[in-house]
Every structure is written in structure tokens, then in C-alpha cells.
Structure 1
């Protein structure tokens, strides 16, 4: 949260400029084009091609492979930027990264060259994991790969996978044996398949992302080589779990991009629409919805950016953090978009309404983000599995702090992802100490913090609530039925909010000294974020006050779609907030 807009344009800023102003109806990156393609259930070829012509493929290829992908944070910013215009296009191109990550993490040099060639050729890929009969239960995978004299023979059907109809390659999960060591990943290409061995199934019609190419692929006696195995035979589940930790964080970029657009639309409408001789933005119920949505955007950005960096500097924290990001950020975004639709009223439903009806499309599209890379129950289950160990680590004071780079205003030259460094579980929550550090700083340092008293109350409440969650976990987790009961999931949901509160506190603490922005130095930014998170856990009256009015003023100053193609209007990290 720097004091002023950073003027150095980055890849996300260059992409925005290349795509042009989204209110210019002539452009492939316009809201008009996005909505029209959606209504016709047509794949957004033009926008995808614009992004590829700009150089998006190079940003899906790591630098060590000769590409431009140097950090998850930059990838996140690019995805968020494109998502503001059309989630359908972003999700299609995002599937290329999802399919490629297992190869970048664990593939051979030959596989990486093959993958880079496909991407540079403008081809699309599928991540062929899910199946109609088994859903997210990966251990029940029905697609098989059986040994032959020359390699493997793949049979079975993958379903509800993106880019299925036009995929030139796919990362395929297949069963090669029994149990958790019986799953293997293959990188398969369509051009090597014989007649009838690779058959795309009809496109699935969807409520959101209507133009997407979700469908299935039926494999019939498809010949695969040993050289097509990603990693080792039987290592598939481990590579998948590592991959999903990363992609769960990146899915949050879809949700934040959609919220960016909906908040810009609702804010613009509220400032221009007049009732009772004043803009409706001055009505307290409207102001409350706008301020809350802005706060949730800030929380989501703070948590997701920290997770992007954690993946590269403290990857053992990623199993917990990615699940918190994936559960909470789409939830915050979807709740905010629903609330902003109330501000727009009937105009949120008009097909030719504000900005060509983009809010209604974003509303449907963003809802799907809660399902990608593990639904909310899946991610709450991951968090619940961690809770006993996290409570024990805090009780024994066995929690390490995170490096300063995780929350600093900028972090350059972070090491790239290494599959050997990724873990399957997190032993302690290294984000949580940010609450205690913030409490001590507020009590002891001499910085002028106008909101010191309220900040202390909010931070202390979050710490006390964490202790209550820990106590409940210690009382209940010993029961065999606890993990399958609703209480475990409720505690996991609460913990995700507290984890986000610690991330926000750490971000503010790390950045306030270098800032000259009163919204930051006064503590107002952190008050805004913590109030919102605490309010979700402890609902109560929330009258609009000076903190909310300051947030609304910042929202009014945030560059709208008219300026999205202007370098000087863009934040370095792709964000739109503080």
C-alpha cells in the first residue's frame, strides 16, 4: 500500500494498454465484446488472440525455459488485469498455465520444450483431472493407463475440463496402480493420437462463462510413451497437490478482477445517480455497501499477494495459505458483487444497462471461481485438517515469522518455484504472528497512529478469537466424528478470516514507515480491513464514519475503465486499491 501510484509500468500495465479502453465498443477487449460473446455462448477467440499477440504465452513460460514468467505475483497481476474485461478468456488462458504447472514443476527437459512449443504456437491446453462419476475425488480416478510393450495405453473419459474441444495437449491424470501411489500424470498431445483415440465430447452449457469450452475428452487405447510420464509413475497425486496449492492462489485473481469491474461500475453509478437532491453514494445504505466491498477487495489483495510470495520464499506455508486464499477470496468477491448489485438495482439486470450489462456477466462468471481447483468444502477440509497442528504449535510457541519480503511494498528476484521445496502440510501458521507484532508496535512505538485505540481493540479481539478456535479444536479434534462434522468446517471458515486479518496486519506493519499517505499512516486502511473481517465473524451495527468516507473518497479517485489503458493510472502490482 504505497503512498502514491507507482509510475513504473509493468507487464500488467502493458497488457492493459495493449487491450485498450474497455468502454471502446470497437475493441476485442471491450465490455461490449465480452457481453456479446457471452450471450451467443461463443468462445472469445478475438480477445484471447489479442492477449496472445501481445505476448501472453511468454508469461506462461518460466524464465529458465526462455520465457518471461518470473514470479507468481506478476502472473497474478496479468490474470487480474484480463479478468476485469472477460473471465471467460482469462480462464481459458489460465487453463494453459494450470496444465503446464505440473510440467514446469516436475517434467523433463523434453516435456518442457514440448509444452513451450505448444504455448508459443498459440495452442490451448487442458488440465484433464475431473471425471463425471467421481467429481473431486481424485483417488477414484477411472481413467487408466496400462503398461504395454512400448509404453502405456490410456483409456477412459475426462469431463468438465476447460478447452476440451480445441485442446492441442493435455495433462492427464490416470490410474496406473492401487492406492495413493497408483496415480500417474501424462503430458499427451493430440497430434500423436491415432484415429478415434482422442475424441472431444460436446461442449457443456453453463450459467456462467457461457462462451467457455468446458467439455470432455474420451481416450480410447491412446498410446503413450514412458517419455510422456510427468515425474515418476505413481507420483501423480503428490505433483497434483503441489500444483493445486499454486493454482488455488491464482484463481483468486479471477475473483478480484471481477470485483474490480463491479466495484468500478457500482461506484460510478452511485456517484452519478441522484435521488433526494444528492448522489445516492451519500445515502448511508449505499455508502456502507461500497465501503464494505472496497474493504473486501483490499483484504483479498493483501492475502493473495502474500500467498504469491510465500510460494516462492516459504513454500512450506503454502498448503495452509493457498486453502485460505481459495476459500476466502472468491467468497469475499462473490458476496461483494451480490451486495453491489443491490446498489445498481434494476440496472444490474438490464441487458443493455450500465456498461453493456457487464456486471450481470461478472456476477455469474465470478460465482464459478468458488468451484475451481477445489470447492469451498474441499478447501475448508484442508484448513480443518491443519487446525490441530496449528493450535499445538501456538501453544508450544513453535511458530516462526515470515521474511519481510512477503509483506513489503515490492519484492524482486525471488527464487522460482521448486517442486522439491513444496510440502503437503503446514506445521505452523507463520502469518499469524503478525497480529502480535502489530499489537506490540501499537503499544510501544512512537508513530502517530490516529486510530491506535480501535486498532488495538480489533487486533486483540482477533488474537482472542484465535485462542477460542484453538481451544475448541483441542476439545473436539480428538473425536473420530469431528472431521466429518459441520463444526470442523465452521472453525475452518472462522480461521480463514483470522488468517486474513493477520496478513493485513503484517502488510500494514511492513509498509507504514515508508508511506506518507495519511490513510495508511493513521491506521485507517487496517481499521477498514479488520472491521470488515471481524464484522463477518461478529455481525453488528456498522454506521458509516470517517474511515468509510476516506475509503469511499479513495474509491472515487481510483482509475476507472476509461483510464485502464493509461500506464500512469496503474499500480505496479496490478492492484486498484491502497
Structure 2
């Protein structure tokens, strides 16, 4: 904490290219020798390894089989023998060129035995808990990239004239932009709920963290690709008002594979589904109201309460049915669509319960069939639908103007119900018109395009008042 507070850097060295995310097969060792630990082996694809002042290393600290043979180590570079340490060549990257990706090799490099973080042999458990935080928060931060890209695209289409009017007046352009706005709100809502769950439902975040990483990353990537289609050739430009888009498009790419690939999240979710079907989905507990209250105070994060498995506990998905039962009366197409698609996803959880309870145990590993993997996608959609529906419903009591408007939540559930593999559904006219009006208002006021509008005094990137 002192090092970071003083502006220093710590690099985290988990991966070895030969084994990817299979950390139990780690070959890097830190075995006891003469009252010290000797670091041996190499770590690869480390962010800012040369710039860092210290390293957190995941290593095998025992030759015994099993997961309790690994530990995490903290090593300040100043304490490492220079003649036993060597940096590996930097990897060249497309996008994020300011981030140095490289590796390091140790040859019998001594380290004090007290460098172990936590209890010896518990490194894998500590890593898996910390991944719940990083998988949730890092992908959530990337929503800001799409927020900036949407602003850039809006400026471009409002300035560009086609067929005697601006490009923003063309129905297709409006449809794409409102769809991206809707998807960004959906992703930000789910990311916000997942992040709050770290504080409020730590025993369940073994589910939420994987789901947030899996869904939000793809939603953001798809949104960027659709915006590039609106810009056309302009998204290649390195000069002019739209020039930053090409950088944003490159920089968003690691959101899908950085830290963990989407498929790895499915692998983590899949074996938990049968127990969820037998326990949580039948019991039907509702999540606490604070989970759906962006900006509300949270209790401190209790790292030790994060569980390696949800053990059949999960209350976000089952909150949807309880929310539907308490849904306030309302008129208009947005209310009708909200109820219709809310009920659709509530029924989907019931169907999932039947399908997951019948899964063969052989379908719960990395060798599972496409059908089994698809169950995880269907379940994540239910979690997203519940997050949006309940955030809207609970906002009605807090008086938050935008969140309590049913149009954004109805649009979220409508597009979420798109058949798998099909292009996202074009919004019905009442929803599209309402979202376009709100999108235009955010553009005028500089409020940004995420779930909670920015302060009117905030200056978006690229406008006077804020350095670029």
C-alpha cells in the first residue's frame, strides 16, 4: 500500500504461455532452500514488468500434488539479485501500445521465506478470489471506451451532410445509435450490479464475476463494431474530429481476452449450474434492494468472504420473479414490453432449471458439448434481465428520473431476447424514439451515455476544459 500510494507500480505475474489459465500446472517454482525460497523459471505476458517496482508471483512452493502446493509471493525488485534475473523480449501489440507486455526469467534467485502472501499453499484460493474482483471491475471500466466512442460518432453524424440533411437524420443511423445506447446502458447496469455484489453478496460472486466478464465484454465489442459501421471509412482516420475512434477501437479489443477469455468464464460457470437448479432457483430468494441502487453507500469489501464457489446460492436471477410480482401498475408500450419480456426471462429460468438438473456429469468440464455451454449463455441473459428490471423497479422509489423511466429497461430486455446468433433486434418505434430523445439530451448536456449521467459541469474528452 505504501509503494502504490507513493506512485509505484506492482506487476502481477500469473501466466505461463504453455499452460494459459490452467494455473495448477504452473512450472515456475519457489522451493525452500537453506531458509530461503529460490525462484526458478519464467513468467510471460506480464503488464509493465520492466516498469514495476515490485512483483506478485504465482509459484509452486511444494512438489506435492494438489492445489495446496502453490503460493503467491511478494518481491520488491530492489531485493532481487540482478545476476539471477533477466527480462524476456517485449511482445508487440496492436492497440494499447503504451502498455508494455513482457516476461521475466529467474535462475535460482533467492527470496526471503517471509515473502509468501497469506498462508503457504493457499495461493490458488487467493488468486481465484482476487479474480472475482478484477473480472468484474476491469471489464466494467471499459464501458468508458464505448461511452467516448459513442460521443465521437454522434458528433460525426451531426456534422456530416448527406442527401440534403445530416447523417443523424437518417432512420438507419438513428436506429443503430439508439441500439448502441441501449446496449451500453444494459452492460453498464449489469456491471454496476455485479460490482455492488462484491460488497453485498460476496458468497455469490463466484457466479456474478464470471457472468459480468462474459456478457459485458461481448456487448462492448459488438457496440464498437456497430459504431465503426456508422462512421464508415472515417473510423480509419488519424486526423480530424473522428480521429480518436481508431485508437478506441484498438484499445477495446483486450476486454474480451484480457485477464481471462470469455470461454474461461463459461468453464467456471458450467459446473455450478446443476446445484443452482436444485437449490437457488427452487428456493427463489430475492437479492437485497441495495444491490440495485447505483451510487448508494456500500459496506467495506470483505475479501475473506468471497467464496470459491457459490455452493448453489444465487439470488440475482430469482429476483426477477419477485420483482414481477411487485411490478407497479403503468400504462403505455414500455410498461407492456417490460412485463412481457420480464415474464419471458422468468420462464427461461424455470426452463433452465429443468435442463441443468438433467445435465450429465460428463457435461460439466472443458470437454462439454456446445449445448451445455449454451446453458451458461442463457443463464447469463437471465441475470442481465434481472439486473435491468430490478434497477428500474427499485429506482421508482428513489425518484431517480432516468432510471425510473421504463423505456431504457424495456429496450434492454427487448434486445436481450434476440434469438441466439441473430443480429440485435431493432427497437420498436416508441422505445427507439424515447431513447433517441434521451441520447440527444445527453449529447447536448455532456452527460455521457452510461447509466448514471455525468455532472453537467463535467467536460467530455475532446472538449475545452479537459486535457487530452
**TM-score, with normalisation over the residues of structure 2?**
0.90
- Counterpart in the other structure of 2:214: 327
Give, in angstroms, the shift of residue 450 of structure 1: 5.6
On the 8 A contact 1:284/1:544 being kept in 2, the answer is no
1:533 corresponds to? 416
Show the counterpart of 1:568: 456
Q: Please point out which of 34, 55, 78 is paired with 1:191.
A: 78
3-state secondary structure, aligned to 2:44: strand
Partner Cα separation in structure 1 for residue 381 and residue 372 of structure 2? 15
Instruction: Identify unmatched segments of 5+ residues in structure 1.
Output: 1-115, 572-578
- Tell me if 1:240 matches 2:123: no
Name the structure with the higher helix share. 1
State the 1:449 CA deviation: 6.2
- Name 1:488's counterpart in structure 2: 372
Aligned to 1:500: 384
Contact residue 399 and residue 428 of structure 1 kept, 8 A = no
Secondary structure of residue in 2 paired with 1:261: helix
Partner Cα distance (2:421, 2:20) in 1 = 34
Q: Over residues 85-107 of structure 1, what are the superposed CA-to-partner deviations in whole Å (9 max), with x where a residue is unaligned?
A: xxxxxxxxxxxxxxxxxxxxxxx
Aligned mates of 1:505, 1:243 — CA distance in 2: 29
C-alpha contact 2:179 2:426 (8 A) present in aligned 1: no
Which residue is 2:360 aligned to?
A: 478
Task: Determine if contact 1:169/1:188 at 8 Å carries over to the other structure.
Answer: yes
SS of residue paired to 2:43 = strand
Identify which of 254, 257, 261 aligns with 1:375.
261
Q: Deviations over 1:198-224 (max 9, x none)?
A: 322222101121221110011222222
1:513 aligns with 2:397: yes
Aligned to 2:250: 364
Specify which structure has the bigger relative contact order, considering alpha-carbon pairs within 8 angstroms and separated by 6 or more residues: 1
Shift of 1:254: 3.5
Larger mean CA deviation between 414-423 and 121-130 belongs to 414-423
Are 1:259 and 1:336, in contact at CA under 8 Å, matched by a contact in 2? yes
1:562 Cα shift?
Answer: 7.3
Residue in 1 that maps onto 2:464 = none
1:174-185 aligned within 5 A: 174-177=59-62, 178-185=65-72
Distance 1:206 1:153 in 2: 32
Who is 1:139 aligned against?
A: 24
CA distance in 2, matches of 1:216, 1:561: 45
SS in 2 for 1:211: coil
Q: Which runs of 5+ in 2 are unaligned?
A: 449-453, 460-468
- Report the CA distance between 1:339 and its aligned residue: 0.5
Is the counterpart of residue 290 in structure 1 residue 173 in structure 2?
A: no
Structure 1 residues 346 and 126, CA, compared in 2 at 3 Å: closer, same or farther? same
Counterpart-to-counterpart distance in 2, 1:170 and 1:438? 46
1:122 aligns with 2:7: yes
Match of 2:463 in 1: none
Q: Given the two structures, how large is their TM-score scaled by the length of structure 1?
A: 0.73
Distance 1:246 1:536, change over 3 A: farther
Other-structure match for 2:303: 419
Q: Which of the residues 290, 311, 314 maps onto 1:405?
A: 290
Give the aligned length: 448
SS at match of 1:402: coil
Q: Indicate if the aligned counterparts of 2:335 and 2:410 stay in contact, CA closer than 8 A.
A: no
Distance 1:536 1:281 in 2: 28
Per the alignment, in what secondary structure is the counterpart of residue 451 of structure 1? helix
Cα distance change of structure 1 residues 447 and 245 upon mapping to structure 2, 3 Å threshold: same
Whole-Å separation in 2 of the counterparts to 1:298 and 1:493:
19
2 CA distance for matches of 1:544 and 1:569?
34
